[in-house]
Amino acid sequence: MLKNAILQATERSALAVRQHRRHLHRHPEPSFAEVQSGAYVSQSLSKMGIEHTTGWCANHGAAGIVAHLHGTEPGSQFIALRADMDALPIQEVDRPHASAVQGWMHACGHDAHTACLLGAAEVLQSTTEHWQGTVQLVFQPGEEILPGGASLMVAEGALAQDAPISGPSATEARLVDGIIGQHVYPQLDSGCVGFRSGTYMAAADEVHIRILGSGGHAALPHRAVDPVVASAHIITALQTVVSRNCDPTQPAVLTFGRVSGGHARNIIPDEVILDGTLRTYDEDTAAALRIAIQRVAASTAEALGAKAEVDITIGYPPVINHPDLTNRCRKRAEELLGSDRVVDLPLRMTGEDFSFYQKMVPGCFYRLGTGGDGPGCRSGLHTASFDIDEAALKTGTAMMAWLAVTSGEE
């Protein structure tokens, strides 16, 4: 009866969910500036008659929201659902529903995440007589950049019962029994979902290296200390950090995506800046590589007469899915969709601040298949052509509602 009620309510909400997604997609906002997105979510929840609090992460310029729904059946299970709301600084390709904001788009599917959670809220609100316990909805800002909106939501008490702003601390209030999040996945067909128990996604550190030399005329390199040459040696040398300072059984990636230095072809600059990312799956490996990066960069620069200043910002922890909760979610997904639509996921070196919630309570982070035949529906995340097969919104809505009220059952 519960399954049928949720599926029927999902069908009724399908048009509204698509409209939510289209509106949010047309009006993307940067991380920690999701003011209009937050207002839209709040207005939508109010129209549904769902109690919620606003102003989360307000000190960082954002507008996070936490909402609560209560089933009428007796029971005490207490599950949170999370969606992120921020966009990326990418100019979207031209299409009818493209972003209306120059230079910004929802290239990571956060518009779909938020729309599905609004849909799940509507589904749960209309089926309260069929389920028990409490469901907490977390609409989170700032997933894409440090410090990560999840860390701020946790610090402000978003996982606590009734979660008032500046409310009781985690040690004084009951926390949710678990938290569930979903993320679009264009490599997986629409209508399917994917799970992985245990370690799933990597920790993500930011690596910043400033290489100081002594500038001069490009034709007189002997009178200068060339930081460009030093930077090239440092980038090459640091690739051996992974291959020679890391346990071969522990995956790790060190990539430099930005090299900045110089203003003219015939001038040796005074400095070069390297910005990169370090991805690992466990803290011991990360700690060892941080030390090695400092050592290799400094010694390589010194050998060439330059100086390297290394700053490593510790970022998001790895996403580690709680085995019991994840296995229950997978089982429930098979009950809802059929076992042929539930797949195993491989490890990913990408990062996610959902891991901050998992530091506090059991968490399950799964993938929603959004791949289809339409333009951009197989394009990668963080690309200008990315889009989703909107048929997946029904799956995402039903899954979030279904897991919220069944994943706590043994």
Dist. CA 4–CA 29, nearest whole Å = 36
Judged by phi (left if over 0) then psi (alpha if -120 to 50, else beta), residue 135 lies in beta
Q: Are strands 203-212 and 307-316 parallel, antiparallel or unpaired?
A: antiparallel
Around Cβ 269, how many Cβ atoms within 10 Å? 19
Q: Is 343 helix (H, G, I), strand (E, B) or coil?
A: strand
Among 235, 223, 194, 188, smallest CA distance to 369 is for: 188
143 is catalytic: yes
Strands of the sheet with 342-344, listed across from one edge: 52-56, 64-70, 132-140, 73-84, 178-189, 363-371, 193-195, 342-344
Q: Which of 34, 86, 144, 156 does the annotation list as catalytic?
A: 86
86 catalytic residue (yes or no): yes
Of 49, 182, 12, 52, the residue nearest 125 (C-alpha): 49
From the candidates 29, 84, 92, 143, which is the catalytic residue? 143
Q: 70 burial class (0-12, 13-18, 19+ CB within 10 angstroms)?
A: middle
Report the chain's terminal Cα–Cα distance, integer Å.
Answer: 18
Catalytic residues: 86, 143
